[in-house]
Amino acid sequence: MLNVSLDSSVGIATLEPEGELTASDFSAAADVIDPFLEKMGELKGIIIYTKSFPSWHSFSSLVAHLKFIREHHKKVTRVAFVTDSPIGNIAEHVTSHFVSAEIKSFEFCDLASGKKWILGETKQ
């Protein structure tokens, strides 16, 4: 499951994955995010907020995830990985080569710092 919340007042979407991710999770995320993008043109950021990273339910779920990234990464300024998983640090260094958004990782207990960074309220 992928819980998605959008704070339209500041342009931040928070994605909270739980359990195995399915293709329909990414469709549901797009259903929340896309209307905002159509109206505003971009998101200031996306927060991936999870203690540890789940797996994908199937190969088609992974493909749906990659398609979601491809369709949205140019419309997002920053992505904050807020997690205790080592994948957050790996993502910060590896995914920056594939997406246009700036990426930074934060400890799971530090959600507020991730939001402040996206909003430009802290030093980089």
Q: Where are the domains of the chain?
A: 2-118
Instruction: List pLDDT tens digits, range 100-121.
Output: 788 888 999 999 999 999 999 8
Where does the pLDDT of residue 22 fall: very low under 50, low under 70, confident under 90, or very high at 90 and above?
A: confident
Instruction: Give me the pLDDT at residue 98, please.
Output: 64
Summarize the confidence of residues 13-23 as an average pLDDT.
89
CA nearest neighbour of 31 among 5, 59, 66: 5
Q: Which helix (H) or strand (E) holds 89?
A: helix 86-94
State both tokens at 56: 């994908």
| DSSP3 helix / strand / coil % (the chain, rounded to 5) | 45, 25, 30
Predicted local distance difference test score (pLDDT) of residue 65: 67
- Structure-model confidence comparison of residues 57 and 90, the more confident one: 57
Of 88 and 18, the one with more pLDDT: 18
Under CATH, what is the fold of the domain 2-118?
Answer: Transcription Regulator spoIIAA (3.30.750)
Residue with tokens 């080592």: 86
Reported pTM: 0.84
- Sign of CA pseudo-dihedral 98, 102, 38, 33: positive
pLDDT tens sequence across 28-85: 999 999 999 999 999 999 898 988 777 667 777 767 766 777 777 788 888 888 988 7
